[in-house]
Amino acid sequence: MTEQAISPLRRRMIEDMETRGFSEQTQRGYLRSVRDFAVFVGRSPDQAGPEDLRRYQHHLRMSGATATTINSAVSALRFFFAVTLDRNDASVGLTTVRQPRKVPVVLSPDEVARLLDATPGPKYRAALSIAYGAGLRASEVVSLKVTDIDSPRMVIRVEQGKGRKDRYAMLSEHLLETLRFWWKEARAMGVMLPSGWLFPGRNPVNPLTTRQLNRAFHAAREAAGIDKPVNLHTLRHCFATHLLEQKVDIRVIQVLLGHAKLDTTARYSRVDKRMLNAVKSPLEHLSPPPA
């Protein structure tokens, strides 16, 4: 879209988001939410009022939108009315929806090994190995550059992860060997640019996309015969859960994951099989079942 094609209102909102350092992904999401709201009310969104917002949130809920979708729309519309339009009255009736707390599905170490063995090609094997071996998010994996791998210190620099925060992730010997194998293969193919992306896309100037990495994950899952309802983010869940089962302090895991709150990390204790297996079921105290 050219500069001329962008309305003054849309341009103002983009500038407001840029001023506050919003990521491109967040900007796209906010603009999409405001556009969908405008389609719902049938006129320019700056002409809408509190009643329109109330009806729209009710529409989202009744149409089966997820809590994540509703909350994203609420955040975008609050920003649009309060910041871009300087109208604090309009967003008063907007309320966030409580997100259901679900226990994450995790794979066993054997299942993770099968999945990595079934990964198509050294690039995707290395990328998925980082997702599991360092607990990185998909967006963090594809944003890595060759210079982010600090082998002398055995750490991975994660630049501007979630929350726009830098952190260091762990780098194991096994993961380093996997990355070195991929680096040699990529250099031989001429796709690894000096100080470039660790996982280049089809054009080495650009990084691999999360969509491409997600497709590789599901291809490996099917090839490995894993039928659990898992996704690419599951590897991060597995990283945390398996560390907890190895008796690693939960506060250490919090730092490795980059969580701001310990409560976020504590949910993995719900799927710690070591903790569950340490408790005897009351059924065990009853008379043995008939032979």
Catalytic residues: 137, 162, 233, 236, 259, 268
Residue whose tokens read 């190895």? 246
DSSP letter for 168, please.
Answer: E
In sequence order, which residues have a C-beta less than 8 Å from that of residue 95 and are 6 or more positions away? 57, 74
155 DSSP β-pair partners: 150, 170
Provide the 10 A C-beta neighbour count for residue 152: 5
Tokens linked to 78: 């609050």
Instruction: Say if strands 149-150 and 167-170 run parallel, antiparallel, or are unpaired.
Output: unpaired
Secondary structure of 207-261 in the HEC alphabet?
ECCHHHHHHHHHHHHHHCCCCCCCCCCHHHHHHHHHHHHCCCCHHHHHHHHCCCC
For the packed helices 109-117 and 210-223, what is the interaxial angle rounded to 10 degrees?
110
Which residue matches tokens 């008379």? 287
Question: In this structure, are residues 33 and 72 in contact, taking their beta carbons and an 8 Å threshold?
Answer: yes
Query: What is the enclosing helix (H) or strand (E) of 192?
Result: none
Give strand pairing partners of 149. 156
Say how far apart CA 240 and CA 255 lie, in whole Å.
11
- The residue with tokens 């650009």 is 206
